[in-house]
Structure 1
Amino acid sequence: MHSGCLKGLVSSSILLAVILFWHTALLRTRREQDTRSRANPFSGAKHPFRSSLEDLSSLSGGVDFPSLLADSFPEPHCHKRLVLLVLVTSSPGHFGPRQVIRGTWAAEETWTPFPWQTVFLLGQTSDDSIAREIQKEQQRFGDVLVGNYLDTYRNLSLKVMHGLKWATERCRPEYILKTHDDCFVNGDRLPAFLAEHNTIKTGLYVGAVLPRPKRRVIREPSSNWYVSRQDYQPEEYPPYATSTGYVLSLDAASDILRVAERTPPILAEDAYVGILARKAGIWVKASGRFARYNAKWRVCNYRYLMVIHQLSAKGQTLAKVNMLKARTACEDSREVIRW
């Protein structure tokens, strides 16, 4: 009897020790997770989209906008009564290009009759060090919008949809320009042109439009721009403005977003916007003011060009200098006031 009790006591002690060990390990794990969450604002967010080829193909019902919002990260602040909001797609690690933009074309004037501002669009990153730097960046500048999706090339359409949704609901500017962090935006001309010379106040969708032969859907699986027939059945995209930059009026952006709720996204962000615009009954307008390639533009070209693609940091600085020179250097040349 005494031996049986002793065995029971030993068994109970072992069981109690196992329970205490498991509980201690669980608490330690939770503390580590909390520490990582505080250090990395992205770590607690959901990642509803993978970085593989099937990222977007699972969204058969269209874009689920509520799932794109990252509640764990503060939103940028909107200026009031904006004529133009510039949405710049960027990658988490592109700190240099964003800083160059802040110091050149996006540098805020002390006063402007046509208010405008710039916001950078980012997705999630699993790199804790980059995430911490983005947190500091947002605290310092307040111009970063982070979405609840992995920042991959295949999720670029989701990034743009998230940016447009946020812009139309939070800021409600008269116009939205979507561009990329290797592009120059002529902030000296574009807001004023939109306010004073643009005659298309509603249903505006304008940019550099590709010729028809270049709008064929790429079916080669090895291509970065591959789109399967399952994702998009037609062999040709409707006319669309390239990702260099395109301007949308507020009503056009809102109509495009409504169509996106029932239209599955595809890889090519600019083509996807074109598909949505066509479904919404909006026709893209082609304009030579959006330069798809950088060239040795003269100072007077900056009286006409609104967006220039593929600029290095040095190129951004030079473009800003030329933009300012164009204020007075080319007054003898007649200004073009149409798209």
Structure 2
Amino acid sequence: MSELSNRIPQNIGMQSQPDKAVLSPYSGFFVSLNVMHYHRHHRLTPQRAKVLIRVSIGMFLALLLLFLVVYTVILIYVDKHFNPPLLKSPNSYRKLKLKGRLAAAIGPKDVGYYEITNALLLLHDGAVGAKGDIFGENGHRKQVWNPSLYYTVNETVAQCRYQTLFRVLIISSPEHFEQRQAIRQTWCDPANFSQVPQHAWHCVFLIGQTMNNNHSSMLQSEKALHQDLLIGNYLDSYRNLTLKVIPGFTWSVNHCPCSYIVKTDDDCFVNAGLLYAFLLHHNPLARGLFVGNIVNDKSKLKVNRGPRNRWAVSHKDYPGKYYPPYASGMGYILSMDVAQQLVTESNFVQPIPVEDAYVGIVMSRLPVRLTDSKRFQLTQSGLSLCNYVYVFIVHEVASGEQHILLKKAQEAWLSCNQDSIVSRW
């Protein structure tokens, strides 16, 4: 037995030490068996490795699934609370929304080039109705474009925090820094008109993308400083005015509500103090209002088909020979309920590069009457001082003339007979 106990430690790489009283043959035998037992039960066998891999993969997939569920819930919450859907038309059965966000359509700056990409339009094989609506197999109207894709959804303007009577959407170009500054210093500031609250109205300039890097950088600085620019996702050009105006209305309706919306250009003077008093005390149409200098002349309503004319519209985009009556783009006013209807209905009307005519096309499909008013003047020529207690918008005003017309409006309110103030459109 002693020899056996001495050989076992040698076989496993251990030297027996019989001279030491503390190490008995039995204790050496016990140690060797214990080591062999440990290695036999704890080494990583192929079967154990497979089980470990399966458990690891399962845990990874479970964590990935949990992440996707949480991420989806967060996206749904953000989309619901910070990206409200387009208003639903009472005449439509469902809302069709384009997916994704499209960049600006960059192309030649030729006057005959229309920078709406084909990717922005839905191509359908459905039937075309009498009004040009496209219907699918189920008989529902189909959306042909989505104006909300042309501006950043989370775009914010500081003045939207306040409850204002009206907002002025001003068409401007990237390089018109001087015009915008002149407007900010004059009629856009309620402080320049007596007895008007601080936030009675505010202005937002609608601008597209520019290929001039210097202008682009300056615009970002201007936007950060004044917080009154809505820079859209389209190339800024004359032929893209529709892509500027309709998305501007869409943003205003969905993200910055007020009672009225005034649309004008940066070469116009808005007699904002007089307009505020009129809308607050005399306006007979708080709802259903669409008023401006209405174009009714048949010769001016005829569609231009010239191949290189800046107002040219193809037969495919608009097959009619004449446009319906529309308000001149120099300036018009809508009540919020009409703006909501305009925004909703425009989703179903093929855009054309003539902004004011396009608005007229959409309005012709709505139960809203266009109100013609001479308080929207195409030129300042011939206007006397006391005319400025009557006119609301004056066209063809240079940036250096904004201060002059503001002074006339201020003096007219003090000097002219208040009994001559007209209380109708």
Distance 2:161 2:414 in 1: 29
Q: Which 5+ residue runs of structure 2 have no aligned equivalent?
A: 1-100, 123-142
Q: What is the TM-score when the length of structure 1 is the normalising length?
A: 0.82
Q: Which residue of 2 aligns with 1:255?
A: 341
2:308 aligned with 1:218: no
1:254-300, Cα deviation, whole Å (9 max, x unpaired)? 10111111111111101111111111222211000000122142110
Distance 1:62 1:207 in 2: 28
Residue from 95, 98, 116 that aligns with 1:56: 116
3-state SS of paired residue (2:273): coil
Q: Which residue of 2 aligns with 1:135?
A: 220
Q: In 2, are the aligned partners of 1:48 and 1:67 still within 8 Å (CA)?
A: no
Residue from 270, 277, 284 that aligns with 1:192: 277
Distance 2:365 2:155 in 1: 33
Distance 1:247 1:51 in 2: 33
Which amino acid in the other structure matches residue 303 of structure 1? V
Identify if the C-alpha distance between structure 1 residues 332 and 253 changes in structure 2 by more than 3 Å, giving closer, same or farther: closer
2:237 aligned with 1:152: yes
Give the length in aligned residue pairs.
294
Q: In 1, are the aligned partners of 2:115 and 2:235 still within 8 Å (CA)?
A: no
Q: Which residue of 1 aligns with 2:148?
A: 66
Distance 1:183 1:177 in 2: 12
3-state SS of paired residue (2:261): strand
Q: In 1, are the aligned partners of 2:105 and 2:117 still within 8 Å (CA)?
A: no
3-state SS of paired residue (1:190): helix
Q: What is the TM-score when the length of structure 2 is the normalising length?
A: 0.66
For residue 172 of structure 1, report the CA deviation from its aligned partner. Answer: 1.0
Distance 1:296 1:318 in 2: 15
For residue 94 of structure 1, report the CA deviation from its aligned partner. Answer: 0.6
2:160 aligned with 1:75: no
For residue 131 of structure 1, report the CA deviation from its aligned partner. Answer: 1.1
Query: Where does 1:68-217 land on structure 2 (aligned, <5 Å)?
Result: 68-70=150-152, 74-77=155-158, 78-109=160-191, 112-113=196-197, 115-213=200-298, 214-217=300-303
Residue from 358, 367, 370 that aligns with 1:284: 370
Q: In 2, are the aligned partners of 1:79 and 1:117 still within 8 Å (CA)?
A: no
Q: Which residue of 2 aligns with 1:38?
A: none
Q: In 1, are the aligned partners of 2:169 and 2:262 still within 8 Å (CA)?
A: yes
For residue 128 of structure 1, report the CA deviation from its aligned partner. Answer: 1.5
For residue 65 of structure 1, report the CA deviation from its aligned partner. Answer: 2.6
1:60-113, Cα deviation, whole Å (9 max, x unpaired)? 653313321236x85322142211100001001110100111111112328724
Q: Which residue of 1 aligns with 2:24?
A: none
Deviates more, 1:85-94 or 1:208-217: 208-217
Which amino acid in the other structure matches residue 49 of structure 1? A
Distance 1:147 1:313 in 2: 24
Larger RCO (CA within 8 A; separation ≥ 6) = 1
Q: Which 5+ residue runs of structure 1 have no aligned equivalent?
A: 1-44
Distance 1:216 1:281 in 2: 23
For residue 332 of structure 1, report the CA deviation from its aligned partner. Answer: 5.3
Distance 2:186 2:395 in 1: 15
Identify if the C-alpha distance between structure 1 residues 194 and 63 changes in structure 2 by more than 3 Å, giving closer, same or farther: farther
Deviates more, 1:45-54 or 1:120-129: 45-54
Q: Which residue of 1 aligns with 2:406?
A: 320
- RMSD of aligned residue pairs (Cα, Å): 1.9
For residue 57 of structure 1, report the CA deviation from its aligned partner. Answer: 7.3
Runs of 4+ in 1 over 6 A off after TM superposition: none
Q: In 2, are the aligned partners of 1:57 and 1:264 still within 8 Å (CA)?
A: no
Q: In 2, are the aligned partners of 1:49 and 1:149 still within 8 Å (CA)?
A: yes
Distance 2:393 2:227 in 1: 24
Distance 1:79 1:323 in 2: 28
Q: Which residue of 2 aligns with 1:7?
A: none
